Structures are given as structure tokens and as C-alpha cells.
Amino acid sequence: MQRRKNVTSDPDRARRVVETVDLISKKWHPVIIQRLMTEGPQGFNALKGSVDGISAKVLTDSLDDLTENDLVERTVISESPLRVEYALTDHGRALQTAMEALAEWGEEYLDPDPDPTVLVVDDDPRLASMHAGWLEEEFTVERAYDGEEAFKALSEDVDVLLIDRRMPGMGGEEVVERIDEWGLDCRVVMLSAVEPDFDIIGMGIDAYLVKPAVKEELVEAVTEVLARSAHEDEVQEYLGLSAKRALLRARKGEAELAASEEYRRLEDRIESLEGTLSDPTDEAAADERIRTIVGEEP
């Protein structure tokens, strides 16, 4: 039985790969090949018009190089006046599979800034569809319609969980508790018709929105909690607790706030964190962003 050659260690094959990549990686070569591949034979002026930004001299030099390497053929058409037409040779057309494979690889692995993924969970399909539609303009969006489905859809690829608080079976609160237990690293925005109370202080959530939400409010909340991920843990905690404080201040009276032991502990923790933050101007800016999201007056 003939032993299969290891292509990765074959020096001749490696050299051919280098030569091929060197040829088709020149700035304008792949563009010219692609245009001739998709649009067929073209005259010089037509080709120049379809290759945006190329000069006549660079196009001439590129076509000469591709012709010399038997990827493009130059044909003089016997008309009056004479004209020249460029087309791919059989060797040039054979590059289609390789170029498509390279394009697919680039789309999958070379995206420098892939859209964050938001998992939208609501037992009302109409609301789930509406909220997902609002977010799809800026994010990759997945949907689930109860807590069990949410767990099946949760993975390391999910950056933000947007979840209804009250759902039949497993509600949003239970899902959030399990996320904490499992140590999943995703931001959580809770969306509910239930008015926020002091119990939100102990929830592992980053933002709390009251239904019915509006598009601008929802998109800004998701954007804000995503931005927190760039900060150190203490700053993230400070921003999250500050958001809860701002929401409670907007929804509760001064007497209720003063009477709550949970709220006093929240204030103490925020004050402690403020003492450790290195840049007070960052704190002020963060407070301003939080006030904007929850609609609280400065």
C-alpha cells in the first residue's frame, strides 16, 4: 500500500503555495481575476471602469503580469477600429474554487469586530420578535421563548441575555441564578412589567427595564452593558450597582429609600468602590450615561 505523502512537510508543495499566493496576492490581481470571472471577457476601458480606483498604467502592468503567467489572455479583435479584449485562460478560470475558498475563510476568520450576540427570551412571541427586530440592526440576535429554551441556547457566544422576568415554568430570575451558579460570562438585561423593587439589588443583572420598552431605551441599555465588559471587575461592579441605584431613585420616593436596609447597603458598597476607582472623571461620566438610560434627572 502506497503511503500518502504529508503535504505539510513537502518542500516542493510548500514552495508552490508560496509562489501561487505571491502571484494572486498582488494588490489588483485578485480583483481583475474576479471581474473577468464574473463578467466575462472585457475591453481595457470596460475593465478599468469595473475595477474601482485603478489607474490605466497599473491596469496595463497588472494585465501584462497576468498574461505572462498564463492567467489572462489578450485577444485583438479584427474590427475597425481594432480593439483588444481580455479574458481568463483555463488556468485563470481554474482559480475560481481556490478564490471562493479563500473568501469563505476570510469571512469566517478575519472579521476584526464581529457583532455581539444577544439572546432575546420572552414567552410572548410577538414581543420577542419585536425586540429582536429592534436589536438586529446592530447585533446578532437569537431567540428563545421560555427559561428552558434559554438554557439550551446559552453558550460562550452569547454576550447579552435580554430576558423577561416572569414566564411560565422557569422565569427570568431562576435563569439568572443558574447563570451565576454556572459562572457563564454574559451580561443580563431584565425586561419586565413588574415595577423594580429593592430585591433587584441582589439580582445578578446589569440592567432592568420596565415594559413596555421603547426601541431607543432597549438598544442603549444593551450597548451600555456591553461597554462595561471593557472595564476591570471593580469598575463593572460600580457601574452595575450605580445603574440599580439610579433606577430605584427614579422609581421610589425618598422615604422608601431611607427606610430600606438593602438600599443603605447598596449606597455603602458604591461609596466603598468609589474610593478605589482611579479616575473620578470616569465615575462622573458613567453616572451621566446611567442617568440617560434610566431617564433620571441629574
- Which of the four CATH numbers 3.40.50.460, 3.40.50.2300, 3.40.50.20, 3.40.50.300 does domain 117-294 have? 3.40.50.2300
Please report the DSSP string for 175-207 in residue order: HHHHHHHHT---EEEEEESSPP-GGGGGSS-SE
Give me the residue spans of the domains in the chain: 8-109, 117-294
Higher pLDDT, 74 or 294: 74
End-to-end CA distance of the chain: 80
Domains 8-109 and 117-294 share a fold: no
- Rounded CA separation 53/35 (Å): 14
Task: Retrieve residue 226's grid coordinates.
Answer: 456591553
- Residues contacting 99, CB < 8 A, separation 6+: 24, 30, 33, 34, 37
Q: What is the pLDDT of residues 210-224, one digit of tens each?
A: 998 899 999 999 999
- By the 8 A CB rule, do 131 and 213 touch? yes
Pick the range with the lowest mean pLDDT from 42-51, 148-157, 249-258.
148-157
Total residue count of the chain as it appears in this document: 298
Confidence of residue 112 (pLDDT cuts 50, 70, 90): low
pTM here?
0.57
**Which ranges in the chain belong to alpha helices (H)?**
11-24, 29-39, 44-50, 56-68, 90-93, 96-109, 125-135, 147-153, 172-182, 215-228, 233-251, 254-259, 261-276, 280-294
Q: What is the pLDDT of residue 113?
A: 62
pLDDT tens-digit readout, 129-178: 999 999 998 899 999 999 889 888 888 789 999 999 989 888 888 888 88
- On the question of pLDDT at 5 being above 50, the answer is no
Query: What is the per-residue pLDDT for 288?
Result: 52
- Cβ atoms of 134 and 218 within 8 Å: the answer is yes
Residue 251 has pLDDT above 60, yes or no: yes
User: Given a cut of 70, is residue 26 above it in pLDDT?
Assistant: yes
pLDDT in tens, 172-203: 888 888 887 777 778 999 999 999 999 999 99
Please give the class, per CATH, of domain 8-109: mainly alpha
